Amino acid sequence: MTKTTLNQLATNPSCMDDYDPNAMSVQQARTFIQQFLNPVIETELLAIRESLGRILAEDIVSPSNVPNHNNSAMDGFAFKYSEGVKLIKVIGTAFAGRPFDGEVKASECVKIMTGAVIPKGADTVVMQEKTVNKGEYINVLEAPKQGSNLRLAGEDLKSGETILSKGHQLQAADLGLLASLGVATVLVNRQLKVAFFSTGDELVSVGKPLEQGQIYDSNRYTIYGMLSKLNVHITDLGVVPDQPDLLEKTLLEAAKQHDVVITSGGVSVGEADYMKALLGKHGQVLFWKINMKPGRPLAYGKVGLAHYFGLPGNPVSAMVTFYQFVRQALLLLMGKTVKPTPMFVVECTESIKKAKGRTEFQRGFLFEEKGQWKVKPLYNQGSGILSSMSKANCFIVLDETIGDCAPGTQVNIQPFEGAI
Ligand code: AMP
Ligand code: MG
């Protein structure tokens, strides 16, 4: 990829042969954005519960074995295995947290609970259900193989093993894993500071009445929801009307105090689309027409030190461009080791009209039929039909090579679950 700077691209888009801002593929746009992203470097030490969703700033190396002793996987009897064993004497009991401290010899056993330390001399546990109680003795109905029903020391984690790597985003299981090692605090990257605002004279925030020609601002709410899932620090700067001086003031203030500024609306070529001129004056911002539907206009660049994303105003376009470009960029800036979004191939039950040469992210509904998962595109795919995002549970991703699809075609889908 290019070593061309953002400034060169912004001021002279023809400086590179393979760079055409008016015909960017989805993948090209992603790659362009990625080369300008440097993760945050500041870190903080957090109690493990506070670290959920945060990005590890260091590798976590196991300080001990987990479990740290051989223990029983069953309620039963721990004994010293020998061929054809039948009648064994019970010489004591071992509870989880209260070990039996004698030694088990041949033809002896200890009654043992799940999680209790395997007593010295014992090497096998027989399940309680496979025995009959005979007073001081038990009768083994079905002898297990030697070594059965034990959880071995270090079987989960070995001392010195790297169990979580720098760049990992901490999940519920990880908090438990850290606790199982006795780790109380972890070093994580600081939160990314993200500000956003909507632009448009027609927009009104919820809670106020609408006048003729006005609409409620919905993008700020979807953007808020999408950002909340990422565990970033969010600043909502409200609706800014299409007034160059106000837009300028808000943008510059936001860029001074945040790592990222996201706006929606005003990045096309309409008469009230002032953002473009403003960004030309203050930023190193690239304006792209992406070969995709919905979400054609997209702006990316820097205003001061802050990264800037200008999303289209149409509510579905704003969401699609967020998911396809901004989400991954924010994760990279947070310092996460990012993996590609999972895609699955399923049968599409209806026909799809689609022009080759651009990528479409149609809203689809994934459902099960006779044990098979299938997808149905939603009826109205308009970029202003926000209800389609609510009703859908996946994107149907149709790349540039795909044209019209007949019912029964296998298509790629990205489930919302987990991402949205
Ligand atoms: P724009 O990109 O500013 O030309 O806006 C494109 C379309 O999206 C117009 O119909 C706008 O009214 C609508 N729109 C822009 N911003 C928002 C918003 N925040 N919430 C809902 N609709 C919006
Ligand atoms: Mg507008």
pLDDT tens for 345-392 read 999 999 999 999 999 999 999 999 999 999 999 999 999 999 999 999
Residues 11-49, buried b or exposed e (16+ Cβ, 10 A)? eeeeeeeebebeebbbebbeebbeebeebbeebeeeebe
Ligand nearest to C-alpha 382: 1
pLDDT at 15 over 60: yes
Structure-block tokens of residue 30 = 């992603």
For helices 275-282 and 244-257, what crossing angle results, to 10°?
Answer: 50
Query: How many whole angstroms from 170 Cα to the centroid of ligand 2?
Result: 38
Average pLDDT rounded to a whole number, residues 395-420: 92
Average pLDDT rounded to a whole number, residues 333-355: 94
Query: How many whole angstroms from 314 Cα to the centroid of ligand 2?
Result: 9
* Beta strand extents in 223-378 (DSSP E only): 233-240, 260-264, 283-289, 292-293, 297-303, 306-311, 344-348, 359-369, 372-377
264, 269, 298: residue to mutate for ligand 1 pocket, most atoms within 8 A of CB:
264
* Beta strand extents in 10-116 (DSSP E only): 43-47, 60-61, 71-72, 76-79, 87-94, 108-112
Q: What is residue 160's DSSP assignment?
A: T
pLDDT at 340: 84
Closest atom, ligand 1, to C-alpha of 218: 20
Query: How many whole angstroms from 154 Cα to the centroid of ligand 2?
Result: 60
Nearest CA to ligand 1 atom 5: 313
Ligand nearest to C-alpha 384: 1
342 pLDDT tier (thresholds 50, 70, 90):
confident
How many percent of the chain have pLDDT more than 70?
Answer: 99
pLDDT at 420 over 70: no
Nearest CA to ligand 1 atom 15: 313
Closest atom, ligand 1, to C-alpha of 384: 8
Report pLDDT digits (tens) over 251-270. Answer: 999 999 999 999 999 887 77
Report pLDDT digits (tens) over 136-195. Answer: 999 999 999 999 999 999 999 999 999 999 999 999 999 999 999 999 999 999 999 999
pLDDT at 280: 87
Structure-block tokens of residue 176 = 């438990």
Residue with tokens 């004698």: 102
Long-range CB contact pairs, 250-254, < 8 A, 24+: 250/197, 251/278, 251/279, 251/282, 251/303, 252/282, 252/303, 252/304, 254/195, 254/197, 254/306
pLDDT at 17: 82
pLDDT at 272 over 90: no
Query: How many whole angstroms from 262 Cα to the centroid of ligand 2?
Result: 15
Average pLDDT rounded to a whole number, residues 318-334: 97
Q: How far apart are CA 29 and CA 189, in angstroms?
A: 26
Query: How many whole angstroms from 307 Cα to the centroid of ligand 2?
Result: 21
Ligand 1 pocket, residues with Cβ under 6 angstroms = 198, 200, 202-203, 215, 217-219, 264-266, 268, 270, 312-315
Q: Among 1-5, 24-28, 42-46, 58-62, which is the least confidently predicted range?
A: 1-5
What predicted TM-score, i.e. pTM, was given to this entire model? 0.91
Closest atom, ligand 1, to C-alpha of 199: 16
Query: How many whole angstroms from 315 Cα to the centroid of ligand 1?
Result: 7
pLDDT at 2 over 60: no
pLDDT at 103 over 80: yes
Count Cβ atoms below 10 Å from residue 246 Cβ, excluding itself.
Answer: 13
314, 319, 322: residue to mutate for ligand 1 pocket, most atoms within 8 A of CB:
314
Mean pLDDT of the chain: 94
Average pLDDT rounded to a whole number, residues 278-289: 90
Q: In this structure, are strands 193-199 and 260-264 parallel, antiparallel, or unpaired?
A: parallel
Highest mean pLDDT, choosing among 12-21, 191-200, 336-345:
191-200
